[in-house]
Structure 1
């Protein structure tokens, strides 16, 4: 039986009638899968052995300020129970319904500002790009149309803006860096269309390299995920994973499935098997801020193409003039660590580099002909110039 990474997004069949909204607890959350196909609600499996970041498309938006940031991750919300966390988080989560040429799908989002700026997954809203529609439903049972402010396929994130709304409850943004393995977490969402579903569990692992596909230019969508056993199912994509203070520490985005059938379409969408993955909030908030301001998202890069190797990530190609080239890294070298992060393969290196920002200095360690070499490099940016 093969294992598949599938999007935790809920496909919507056109013939289905809209389901009844519940006042007060109508918020939603969504989880995607480890492999996201070209259309919303579809999952696919693919192997990506290279990382060569290229510029992404520009976003169009009005400058906004994002949600408050919490510096505390351990002090409990109210009595620290799952119930108290749910009561705090539910008003800040929305259900997102998307329609496009490929059909319809639903996911979730996290309210960032009182006037309707919302964070979600790119794969939740991508179907609506180029002529589709996006609608958000709020905790009080109301709904509004929304426009896409920006998308970033490389981190599987997107920012949308609900029209004509005010006085919403922004989520509190926490610090994913404060998480520890075994710590309690809560996920909120609409799995399989079931409104305001709350699940709880623990952090099962940190910095788990998760590859969910690629963008139009073949650059892999890979991130250092938070793994959790809190139940995440199709319909949870884009919603929050929160700590026991109710602060958002991740965006529920992927699930691991075990199925022998094709992972495409509803026939291949298995339920939770206790392997859910969330994008760490620390890594993506700078990109979210860029999209909210109408800027083109930027990403750190070494300027290399890589493949898996038993010892780490093997260099297949080095871009002339890149920071890797200036450091003396050559094709055939095997990168084994970046700072204190051990590199176990291509996805591991991509996920690690994506956790940094352009201009950050890192120490890269690699082997060549059995000898270890090391250099401090300043990471490049995929930002366009001129």
Structure 2
């Protein structure tokens, strides 16, 4: 065993103390024979000299816990005629190699990190393949067919869809709803106005939810209320709607709109009643007052093609006819609005007004328009109200003593802010109804019995 204890003292000559065989000069000793050559290093390791096979001693000294027995360990004496195994001094790599050592360490670290990343990907991929997946779960059992719960949008749709139709003319489409089994249909005047002008050319087509398509004929219409009645030819057994009432509607009440927006028949949307008694112009005559409605405002999505379709309460009763939408680019109501899409502001004709007009058309082929017998304008002074600019001789207003220049600020309990508001309020009533008009700041009131005249059909 070679003693490499750096604390052992080495003799200065080639002989071991106390006799024995002379110790051959060490090639690392400064007293060795021949020239001393510095060891060459590569990558920080000392070059190893060529050496003879090492022959261990026959009886190596006994070492206990790193020390020879008996105190200081004796110098190691190799057997005769053998070459000692050179023991190089502790090597210290030159400073110039330290950077290389660091780079090698960094390289090893990078290689190790890459191997770890690859291993992580393999583990993640294996975990992904073995993790539970929704695709491995069987779909739930098909629900048994059952009636929709009462008062839900689903129930309203189930009830109303068979009664809603799509109406087509040469240049557009709209909606309507069946009120009699033989295919009697209520819709908007502006939906069928083109077909009415075409006369008997059969340019109006009626499409039912069951796929049946037939010709339609216009029985009568009122451009001032935007209501019309159509007869589908050669049909029977159709499902009529149930008509509700609109005089007891509440703001915030839930409603459903059904129709054919953008040619998508049978479309159902839902929302609420956003406001009541909203003066609105909707199709028909574009002069303004001729088509002003006392409208129900809703946020249920209404789009071009919904016109004429039903607005329905949650009991499945029709409480309005969808007629117009507000469009920021439409510049107002009527046909200009039909070019845009829903922005959450739609308008419907109250069914109380529409029912009265439709009933007259069915029975007589004509409708009667409710009138006050005045022409009005919004006051130019900037104050609220409807200022009378003309009084019709012998009319309802003249008989009640209303004069030019009077500013109407209320009708019954309803506030009148603009001229359109007065027109809408009058149109919501029937001929013969009695109303109380407040003039100016309330110092004067007038009792008026409203009149009637044939409704325009242009």
Whole-Å separation in 2 of the counterparts to 1:130 and 1:243: 34
Deviation at 1:213, TM superposition (A): 5.8
Whole-Å separation in 2 of the counterparts to 1:286 and 1:267: 26
**Aligned mate of 2:421, from 336, 345, 348:** 348
Whole-Å separation in 2 of the counterparts to 1:262 and 1:224: 15
Name the residue aligned to 1:373.
444
1:252-331 counterparts in 2 under 5 A? 252-259=322-329, 269-309=339-379, 310-331=383-404
Q: Does the Cα contact within 8 Å between 1:263 and 1:269 map onto a contact in 2?
A: no
Larger radius of gyration: 2
Name the residue aligned to 1:108.
175
Name the residue aligned to 2:270.
200
Whole-Å separation in 1 of the counterparts to 2:288 and 2:154: 43
Unmatched tracts of structure 1, length 5 or more:
1-76
Deviation at 1:295, TM superposition (A): 3.4
Deviation at 1:294, TM superposition (A): 3.0
TM-score by length of 1: 0.74
> Is 2:167 the counterpart of 1:96?
yes
SS in 2 for 1:129: helix
Name the residue aligned to 1:360.
433
**Range that drifts further, 88-97 or 205-214:** 205-214
Whole-Å separation in 1 of the counterparts to 2:193 and 2:428: 23
Name the residue aligned to 1:332.
405
Deviations 1:225-284 (A, max 9, x none): 110000001110100000001100000000001128999999982211000000000112
Q: Does the Cα contact within 8 Å between 2:289 and 2:423 map onto a contact in 1?
A: no
Name the residue aligned to 1:53.
none
Name the residue aligned to 1:81.
152
Q: CA RMSD in A?
A: 2.3
1:318 and 1:91, CA in 2 relative to 1: closer, same or farther beyond 3 A? same
Whole-Å separation in 2 of the counterparts to 1:262 and 1:253: 13
> Is 2:191 the counterpart of 1:124?
yes
Unmatched tracts of structure 2, length 5 or more:
1-147
Report which of the two has the higher share of strand: 1
**Aligned mate of 2:228, from 158, 164, 172:** 158
1:264 and 1:79, CA in 2 relative to 1: closer, same or farther beyond 3 A? closer
Whole-Å separation in 2 of the counterparts to 1:115 and 1:106: 22
1:58-77 counterparts in 2 under 5 A? none
1:372 and 1:173, CA in 2 relative to 1: closer, same or farther beyond 3 A? same
**Range that drifts further, 163-172 or 209-218:** 209-218
* Matched residue count: 302
1:275 and 1:266, CA in 2 relative to 1: closer, same or farther beyond 3 A? closer
SS in 2 for 1:80: coil
Q: Does the Cα contact within 8 Å between 1:116 and 1:163 map onto a contact in 2?
A: yes
Whole-Å separation in 2 of the counterparts to 1:269 and 1:335: 35
